[in-house]
Amino acid sequence: MESLKEERKLLRYTYLLCIVLFLNMYFIGKDSFDNGALIMGAVICLIFAYSHFIIRRFFPDGDKYILLFSNVLAVIGLGMLYRLNSPNALKQLIMYAIGIAIFILVVVLFPSLIKFGKYKYFYMICTIILMALGSLLAKPTYGARNWISIAGFTFQPSEFAKLSLVAYLAAALQNYGRDTQGKSEIIKAKALIEPGIVVMVSLGFMVIQKDLGSALLFFAISITMVYIATSNFKYVLLCLGLFIIGGFISYKLYGHVRVRFMTWSDPWKYATSGGNQVVQSLISIASGHLFGTGVGLGYPKLVPVVDSDFIFAAICEEMGLLMGFAMLILYFLLFYRCMRVPVYSKDNFTRLLAVGYSTMIAAQVLVIVGGVVGAIPLTGITLPLVSYGGSSMIITFFSLGILQKISEDGQSYE
């Protein structure tokens, strides 16, 4: 029961964080004290208390920290969003509630996930369709063609494509080397040709849709899953080589790729055009220093698209660089807990699925935070659990639900 005590402690600190954050928001309300902030904080507390109660009470075997860490991150994100744009924060709160609901439903309703390993071609078709959807239907936003609108509801198909791509790769790679035990490498490698083609097609679509962040993300997920499935480092090198060649070709072929690289190489030179976002984000991060200006006292709104892609800059400015570091450490801890899940799992499909979803979250953090601080070319993807964006929130909680489910199944075998 040592674990339960630790969980309770962490849970209490999360309440404290939530209360302090929204009390702050209550005081800095524009014209009068902001009662909305108090209500919002209370609702968030209720939601994560409820979710933790359900998981604790009815599913005691799985990993509790996945939910705990995600909730801490979501609280930070909702707090910052409320400060930046309270109507958006309300929408995000609804998405958070839906996300939590999906998380619980996945854990409660899904049968053992091992059975899902059979539907390889279904995942493949889903992946291809979702990847292509952006090219067919999307209207460009922020230069990228990755948002589509159906019945007044806008979402990014590539977000959902992530889920099916991971499922497809897990299904395709689960039997790698089983029937070809002891045979030559070339015969083994044949099993990788089909997944390879699917991944390349997906990456191609992403480049055409100017969604380079997702392309990078898919690549990171695929390469990790291939390595885990094959234990063969050569494939990693091969993939890296192909990726560099592909990157070089798209650099030559597409202006938007070149622009991204140019502004990355010296954002200050392009500060009035393409580099504006990164320059403003760097200024914002630098203005906060280690401890931040205090929530509500900085000027994060001077950074473009600050509530989604650049929310990390806003958090660094107002809550301090140390909060930024703490968030990165939290993300790594979340990744660590997620990567522990497949260790206890016995089935290859669920193992690979867990690895894929864990990598998805960690790689997304690296790509967007790296872009926001100018370490790598900027690509517009969301910071999972924190950025404003419904599809991202739902996708992340869905994958966390799958991980929770796998962890549940894995633990109950023992």
Partner 1 sequence: MNDFVNNIKKVMLVFLILFIALISYITYLYMFKSETAVASSYNQRLWAERNKVLRGTIYDKDMTALTKSTRISQTSQKLQYYQGAAFAHTIGYMDPRYGLSGLEKKYDAELMDDGDSSLSKFAFFSKDNEEKVGKGLRTTLDSELQKKAYNLLGNHRGSIVAMNPKTGEILAMVSKPSYDPNYLSRDWKSVNSNKDMPLLNRAVSGLYPPGSTFKTITAASALKNIPNVYNSSINDNGSLVVNGTRLLGDFQGESFGNIGFKSAYMHSSNVFFGSLGLDLGNKELKNTAEAFYFNKHTPTIGLTIENSVFPSYKSNEKGNIAQSAIGQAGVLVTPMEMALVASTVANDGIMMQPMLVKEILSSKGKSLEKLQPKQLGQVMTKENATTMKSLMRSVVSGGTGKGAALSNILVSGKTGTADHVEASKQEAPHAWFTGFAPYDDPQIAIAVIVEEGGQGGQLAATITRELIRTYLK
Alpha helices in 59-150 (DSSP H): 65-84, 86-109, 120-137
Please give the radius of gyration of the chain, using alpha carbons only, rounded to the nearest integer: 21
Q: By CB under 8 A, which span of 7-15, 203-211, 242-250, 373-381 interacts with partner 1? A: 373-381
Query: What three-state secondary structure class fits 140?
Result: strand
Q: Does 374 bind partner 1 (CB under 8 A)?
A: yes
Q: By CB under 8 A, which span of 21-29, 45-53, 77-85, 258-266 interacts with partner 1? A: 21-29
Instruction: At 138, list the tokens.
Output: 């999307």
Q: Does 280 bind partner 1 (CB under 8 A)?
A: yes
Using CB atoms within 10 Å of the CB of residue 49, give its burial: 0 to 12 exposed, 13 to 18 middle, 19+ buried. middle
Q: Using CA atoms, how far apart are residues 332 and 184, in angstroms rounded to an integer?
A: 38
Q: Using CA atoms, how far apart are residues 387 and 382, in angstroms rounded to an integer?
A: 6
Q: Does 65 bind partner 1 (CB under 8 A)?
A: no
Q: Please, are residues 406 and 354 in contact by the beta-carbon 8 Å criterion?
A: yes
Residue with smaller CB distance to partner 1, 133 or 363: 363
Q: Please, are residues 41 and 15 in contact by the beta-carbon 8 Å criterion?
A: no
Least distance between partner 1 and beta carbon 283 (Å): 5
Least distance between partner 1 and beta carbon 342 (Å): 7
Q: By CB under 8 A, which span of 99-107, 113-121, 182-190, 343-351 interacts with partner 1? A: 343-351
Q: Which residue has the tokens 């969980």?
A: 7
Q: Does 32 bind partner 1 (CB under 8 A)?
A: yes
Q: Does 305 bind partner 1 (CB under 8 A)?
A: no
Site string for partner 1, 249-278 (x = CB under 8 A): -------------------x--xx---x--
Instruction: At 193, list the tokens.
Output: 């040709």
Q: Does 246 bind partner 1 (CB under 8 A)?
A: no
**Which segments within 253-328 are labelled E, that is strand?**
none
Nearest one of 223, 228, 393, 226 to 308, comparing CA atoms? 393
Contacts to partner 1 by CB under 8 A: 27-29, 31-33, 176-177, 224, 227-229, 231, 268, 271-272, 276, 279-280, 282-283, 285-287, 289-290, 296, 298-299, 301-302, 321, 324-325, 328-329, 331-332, 335-336, 339, 342-343, 348, 351, 355, 359, 362, 366, 369-370, 373-375
